A and B are shown apart, each in its own frame.
Chain A
């Protein structure tokens, strides 16, 4: 699992509340990603980071923010959760080879917004 831990693993929250998901890695890899996975849509990139305080938006970033103040931690925040953000969230890290990426994923966080 390349030392990736996601927390919490499951969460139920109410619409309008803020939620923060945490991804922790133990290997000091530079690249980290947040994806969401939904039936019919597959894995979609929310945000990614290529270093401390270096982050960028992915395909479905609206309603999400991220922070990376330490190499090992990448936080995903839903400022005001909506039902459309009910999903399974995966954190991933990549280990770049010669200009390519092999991604390693955490076990996921199942978030339900009611």
Chain B
């Protein structure tokens, strides 16, 4: 069955460092991979999308990589800040399905 894996353990880092979150998947051939941020008590908020034919996408301090051979995406936040503390979800979508399937998310805690 299709599976999306994100680290269930929280990632704790110091302010100013680069946070790296991982999304692995199996039995899936996504055309698109998305990353969302979710704060406590709120709905997820879209951050970035990367297509299967793209290796890397950047937006301000965010960088996403997509390796379809390894079936893995890495999400980086450079120069992290306490305000970056949140849960980050990856979502996969097959081309044309318009249905994102979400991982469980990884909690990021940035310490001042």
* Partner-B contacts on A (CB < 8 A): 31, 33, 35, 40-45, 48, 50, 58, 90, 92, 94, 96, 99-108
**B-to-A contact residues, CB < 8 Å:** 8, 31-32, 34, 36, 41-46, 49, 51, 89, 91, 93, 95-105
7 pairs, CB–CB < 8 Å, chain A vs chain B: A33-B99, A41-B104, A100-B31, A101-B98, A103-B46, A105-B45, A106-B43
Give the CA-CA distance A27 to B43 in the complex, in Å: 18
Minimum CB distance partner of A6 in chain B? B43
- Select from chain B the residue with minimum beta-carbon distance to A96: B98
19 new A-B contacts at CB < 8 Å, known A94-B100, A100-B49 = A33-B99, A41-B104, A42-B89, A42-B102, A48-B99, A58-B99, A92-B43, A99-B95, A100-B32, A100-B93, A101-B34, A101-B98, A101-B99, A101-B100, A102-B49, A104-B46, A106-B43, A107-B42, A108-B43
- Total A-B residue contacts, Cβ distance less than 8 Å: 62
With contacts A41-B104, A100-B51 taken as known, whether A105 is within 8 angstroms of B98 at the C-beta atoms is: no
List the A side residues contacting B98 at CB < 8 Å.
Answer: 31, 50, 94, 96, 101
